[in-house]
């Protein structure tokens, strides 16, 4: 008998496949060529720190991934769990599970904390229930009847993250979540991001506070003028003084 029926090749484990892939993306603001061929992969449940100096193209890369109109994606592919994000509009990318928490947090004026959360539940049964959110964000539970825009900066950041969890979330994009926050609040948000990670949610975190981001992250990508200057583990960046000095000024 020959061995036709017996294939002994090891089957690749699902977790080894990239869950999210950016393949050679190029994006423009009008004539300005900003994202210049960025490529990286993320495995399911990982946190990727996307780092680089001011103006390196981090926000632009996140916006291109979320398929916002600006910058305009001219070339390249973006795949999330088998879905071609590059051929979608922003609302379709959001429905596909990509949730961007922008730098300014975009808390809706005139709405209470709880209204911000219920409004985010556009796909009932998909995202987190309000009670589950309050278990992870006790500060938001205490302030459920307070207007969202009257929260402190840290609480607004928590609300912005909670809103992403209320939606159908597969990939969380965080743009400078620690910006302007006191160290004690940064620690609280770090704890929340660790909890989210423990639940298996995949994230990209952009941060000027590179050390805090690298401590949370599994892997890191460093951008320099719209191109990838480094890809590797977060620990490699923490251990490489030259790299940190050259691209991160830490």
Ligand X SMILES: Nc1ncnc2c1ncn2[C@@H]1O[C@H](COP(=O)(O)OP(=O)(O)O)[C@@H](O)[C@H]1O
Which residues form the interface with ligand X (CB under 6 A)? 29, 32, 34, 52, 54-60, 70
Report the 3 state secondary structure along 172-206: EEEECCCCCCCHHHHHHHHHHHHHHHHCCCEEEEE
- Give the residue with the Cβ less far from Mg ion, 122 or 211: 211
- Give the residue with the Cβ less far from ligand X, 186 or 210: 210
Pairing of strands 47-51, 219-224: parallel
SS3 46: coil
Which of 59, 121, 203, 209: binder of Mg ion (CB under 5 A)? Answer: 59
Q: Which residue has the tokens 């940064």?
A: 186
Smallest gap from Cβ 59 to Mg ion, in A, equals 3
Residue 60 in contact with Mg ion, rule: CB under 5 A: no
Beta strand extents in the chain (DSSP E only): 18-29, 32-43, 47-51, 72-80, 83-84, 98-101, 171-175, 202-206, 219-224, 227-233
Smallest gap from Cβ 192 to ligand X, in A, equals 22
Stretch that binds Mg ion, among 56-64, 115-123, 178-186, 242-250 (CB under 5 A): 56-64
Packing angle of the helix pair 153-166, 113-120 (nearest 10 deg): 30
Smallest gap from Cβ 205 to ligand X, in A, equals 13
Residues 79 and 23 sit within 8 Å (Cβ to Cβ): yes
Q: Which does 60 bind (CB under 5 to 8 A by kind): ligand X, Mg ion, none?
A: ligand X
Number of residues that bind Mg ion (CB under 5 A): 2
Smallest gap from Cβ 56 to Mg ion, in A, equals 8
- Give the residue with the Cβ less far from Mg ion, 59 or 83: 59
Report the 3 state secondary structure along 92-116: HHHHCCEEEECCCCCCCCCCEHHHH
- Give the residue with the Cβ less far from ligand X, 68 or 120: 68
Residues 134-173 close enough to bind Mg ion by CB under 5 A:
none
Instruction: List contacts with Mg ion (CB under 5 A).
Output: 58-59
């Amino acid at each position: 008998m020959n061995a036709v029926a017996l294939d002994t090749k090891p089957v690749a484990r699902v977790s080894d496949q990239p869950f999210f892939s950016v393949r050679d993306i190029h994006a423009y603001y009008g004539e300005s060529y900003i994202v210049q061929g960025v490529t990286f992969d993320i495995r399911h449940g990982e946190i990727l720190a996307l780092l680089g100096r001011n103006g390196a193209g981090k926000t632009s890369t996140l916006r291109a991934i979320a398929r916002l109109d600006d910058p305009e994606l001219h070339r390249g592919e973006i795949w999330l769990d088998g879905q071609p994000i590059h051929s979608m509009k922003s609302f379709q990318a959001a429905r596909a599970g990509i949730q961007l928490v922008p730098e300014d947090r975009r808390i809706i004026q005139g709405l209470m904390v709880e209204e911000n959360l219920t409004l985010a539940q556009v796909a009932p049964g998909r995202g987190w229930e309000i009670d589950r959110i309050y278990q992870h964000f006790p500060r938001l539970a205490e302030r459920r009847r307070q207007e969202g825009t009257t929260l402190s900066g840290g609480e607004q950041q928590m609300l912005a993250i909670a809103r992403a969890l209320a939606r159908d979330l597969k990939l969380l994009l965080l743009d400078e979540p620690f910006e302007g926050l006191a160290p004690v609040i940064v620690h609280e948000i770090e704890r929340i991001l660790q909890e989210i990670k423990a639940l298996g949610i995949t994230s990209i975190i952009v941060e000027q506070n590179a050390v805090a981001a690298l401590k949370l992250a599994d892997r890191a990508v460093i951008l320099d003028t719209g191109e990838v200057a480094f890809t590797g583990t977060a620990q490699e960046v923490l251990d490489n003084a030259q790299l940190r000095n050259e691209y991160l000024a830490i």
